[in-house]
């Protein structure tokens, strides 16, 4: 199987220096969606991507995220047929060639698999769609027997042809040997002076090559993007589709129109998600989790029956069962919050382990730390983990109580069962089961408070 993705267009109506195919849908470049879908069909395939405008930007994207592609260049944009011609040197003659578009991002792998099945015996398989308003699209023309005889583009169509509701989506699977031959004879004899890929359909019909059509399960699969309005509309359509799938699987969404999934969200049972939440990358949520409004969760695992309260941000972390996070908490990469631990409002945790039943409920920073079980960390406590060059570890053993406004200057260890008095600046290890206090002596002196000069 050969795959060609057309991604050479400039996208003038996007009014952007960024090539159109790199604009994101659900947190991923449109071209990235298409390439990921191809991987679902055949992870060993090496697609050919036709580039033109903004090719340097697109090359950088491909080098970083999809290096296993072949790049063809369309220096002049002379139509879709001309674009496919640029990829012909990369195509093997056997089997079919699947033609896709970098600005039609949401085509589903199940649809493409069925399209390829229709083309297995040397047929030309075309993905079509019925539209109530087909203006701007090429029309599928059929003979009296209902067989496809050609595709007429909007600018070349007669008023009678324009009444046809079945349109060409542009996505097709062609017998590769025939495709190579057909492309060699098409001519730019049309209103736009371009080499139309759709002209091969008429050639196939004249040669009695079987032409088969099918329609996608969802209309959004074949929607292309040419401007910012279409981009925003397709984004909301896709998010609504994802929300519907979650609801059908038993998840509670307080408002299905106010959720954004920018990656893969795996969920268990009896989960509730409030409004305005964003899920990025790969997120796994176990049974019974409750997520408050306006939380952002990225590349993280949330354990069963955990509560994520409003406005919390979690990234690259694992939260175990029955923990409580937030509101207004930030849990950063490399963090493991163990079962029944509490991370409260305006607490930031980075690259740390927080043990079972431990609590940091107010206004604290815990970075590069190992915190044991049943530890209480008072408000305003920070681990001073950075010396300006290197990061250092703070170790807090089980059953420690740390008073408010304490600073733990790493590397330092607080022994099991120790207590730190409020306001302590700890620069040496605190022994187990003892009270350690480090604060200036309290003084009261006579003085007069300054007043403003008149």
Judge contact between 5 and 48, C-beta under 8 A: yes
Bond preceding residue 181 cis, omega within 30 of 0: no
pLDDT averaged over every residue in the chain: 96
Q: Are residue 318 and residue 211 in the same domain, yes or no?
A: no
Choose the final residue of a domain: 187, 222, 257. 222
Average pLDDT estimate for 381-405? 97
Choose the final residue of a domain: 173, 200, 222. 222
The b-or-e profile of 219-238 (16+ CB within 10 A means b, else e) is ebbbbbbeeeeebeebbeeb
Q: Are residue 32 and residue 113 in the same domain, yes or no?
A: yes
Q: Considering only the C-alpha atoms of the chain, give the largest distance between any 2 of them, rounded to a whole number of Å.
A: 107
Q: Quick check: is 443 in a domain?
A: no
Instruction: Write the pLDDT tens digit of every residue in 144-196.
Output: 999 999 999 999 999 999 999 999 999 999 999 999 999 999 999 998 999 99
Q: Are residue 192 and residue 166 in the same domain, yes or no?
A: yes
**Strand, helix or coil for residue 283:** strand
Choose the final residue of a domain: 193, 222, 251. 222
Predicted confidence (pLDDT) at residue 442 exceeds the cutoff of 90: no
Average pLDDT estimate for 77-101? 96
Q: Are residue 216 and residue 251 in the same domain, yes or no?
A: no
Q: Quick check: is 272 in a domain?
A: yes
Q: Are residue 203 and residue 338 in the same domain, yes or no?
A: no
CATH number for the domain spanning 161: value is: 3.90.550.10
Q: Quick check: is 298 in a domain?
A: yes
Output the pLDDT for position 139: 97
Q: Are residue 194 and residue 306 in the same domain, yes or no?
A: no
Output the pLDDT for position 269: 96
Predicted confidence (pLDDT) at residue 440 exceeds the cutoff of 90: no
Q: Quick check: is 451 in a domain?
A: no
Q: Quick check: is 447 in a domain?
A: no
Output the pLDDT for position 191: 87
Instruction: Write the pLDDT tens digit of every residue in 21-56.
Output: 999 999 999 999 999 999 999 989 999 999 999 999
Judge contact between 341 and 357, C-beta under 8 A: yes
Instruction: Write the pLDDT tens digit of every residue in 227-281.
Output: 999 999 999 999 999 999 999 999 999 999 999 999 999 999 999 999 999 999 9
* Phi/psi at 95 (5° precision): 75, -160
Q: Are residue 215 and residue 345 in the same domain, yes or no?
A: no
Bond preceding residue 411 cis, omega within 30 of 0: yes
Predicted confidence (pLDDT) at residue 120 exceeds the cutoff of 90: yes
Output the pLDDT for position 10: 86
Instruction: Write the pLDDT tens digit of every residue in 128-156.
Output: 999 999 998 999 999 999 999 999 999 99
Q: Quick check: is 441 in a domain?
A: no
Per the structure, the complete domain to which residue 76 belongs is given by: 2-222
Q: Which residue, 359, 434, 370, is CA-closest to 408? A: 370
Output the pLDDT for position 274: 98
Q: Quick check: is 65 in a domain?
A: yes
Q: Are residue 356 and residue 233 in the same domain, yes or no?
A: yes
Output the pLDDT for position 436: 97
What is the spatial distance between Cα 4 and Cα 194, in angstroms, rounded to a whole number?
19
Q: Quick check: is 442 in a domain?
A: no
The angle formed by the CA atoms of residues 192, 197 and 198, to the nearest 5 degrees, is 85
CATH number for the domain spanning 386: value is: 2.160.10.10
Strand locations in 131-186, DSSP E?
139-142, 148-152, 166-175
Number of independent structural domains in the chain: 2
Query: Is 362 one of the catalytic residues?
Result: yes
Q: Are residue 112 and residue 206 in the same domain, yes or no?
A: yes
Q: Are residue 208 and residue 278 in the same domain, yes or no?
A: no
Q: Label residue 212 by pLDDT band (50, 70, 90).
A: very high
Could you say which of 53, 241, 362, 392 is catalytic? Answer: 362
Output the pLDDT for position 351: 98
Q: Which residue, 77, 271, 79, 36, is CA-closest to 190? A: 79
Q: Are residue 217 and residue 259 in the same domain, yes or no?
A: no
Q: Are residue 257 and residue 330 in the same domain, yes or no?
A: yes
């Amino acid at each position: 199987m050969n795959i060609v993705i057309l991604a050479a267009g400039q996208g003038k109506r996007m009014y952007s220096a960024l090539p159109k195919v790199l604009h994101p849908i659900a947190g991923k470049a449109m071209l990235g969606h298409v390439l990921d879908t191809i991987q679902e069909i055949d992870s060993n395939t090496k697609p050919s991507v036709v580039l033109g405008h903004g090719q340097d930007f697109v090359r950088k994207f491909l080098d970083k995220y999809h290096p296993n592609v072949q790049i063809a260049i369309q220096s002049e944009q002379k139509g879709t047929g001309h674009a496919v011609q640029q990829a012909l040197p990369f195509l093997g003659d056997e089997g079919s060639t699947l033609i896709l578009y970098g600005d039609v991002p949401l085509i589903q792998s199940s649809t493409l698999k069925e399209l390829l099945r229709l083309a297995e015996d040397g047929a030309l398989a075309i993905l079509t769609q019925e539209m109530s308003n087909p203006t701007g699209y090429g029309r599928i023309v059929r003979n009296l027997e209902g067989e496809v005889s050609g595709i007429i583009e909007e600018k070349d169509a007669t008023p009678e042809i324009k009444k046809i509701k079945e349109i060409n989506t542009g996505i097709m699977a062609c017998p590769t040997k025939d495709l190579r031959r057909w492309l060699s004879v098409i001519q730019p004899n049309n209103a736009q002076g371009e080499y139309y890929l759709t002209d091969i359909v008429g050639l196939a019909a004249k040669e009695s090559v079987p032409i088969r059509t099918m329609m996608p399960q969802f209309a959004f699969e074949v929607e292309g993007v040419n401007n910012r309005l279409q981009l925003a509309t397709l984004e909301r359509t896709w998010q609504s589709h994802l929300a519907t799938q979650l609801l059908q699987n038993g998840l509670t969404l307080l408002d299905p129109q106010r959720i954004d999934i920018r990656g893969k969200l795996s969920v268990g049972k009896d989960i509730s998600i409030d409004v305005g939440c964003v899920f990025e990358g790969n997120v796994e949520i176990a049974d019974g989790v409750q997520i408050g409004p306006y939380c952002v969760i990225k590349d993280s695992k949330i354990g069963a029956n955990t509560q994520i309260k409003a406005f919390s941000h979690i990234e690259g972390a694992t939260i175990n069962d029955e923990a409580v996070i937030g509101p207004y908490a930030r849990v950063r990469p490399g963090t493991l919050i163990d079962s029944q631990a509490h991370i409260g409002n305006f607490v930031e945790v980075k690259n740390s382990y927080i043990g079972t039943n431990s609590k940091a409920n107010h206004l604290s920073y815990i970075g590069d730390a190992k915190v044991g079980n049943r530890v209480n960390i008072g408000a305003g406590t920070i681990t001073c983990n950075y010396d300006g060059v290197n990061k250092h570890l703070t170790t807090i053993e089980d059953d420690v109580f740390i008073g408010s406004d304490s600073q733990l200057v790493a590397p330092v260890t607080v022994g099991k069962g120790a207590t730190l008095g409020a306001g302590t600046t700890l620069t040496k290890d605190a022994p187990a089961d003892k009270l350690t206090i480090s604060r200036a002596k309290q003084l009261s002196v006579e003085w007069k408070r300054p007043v403003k000069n008149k």
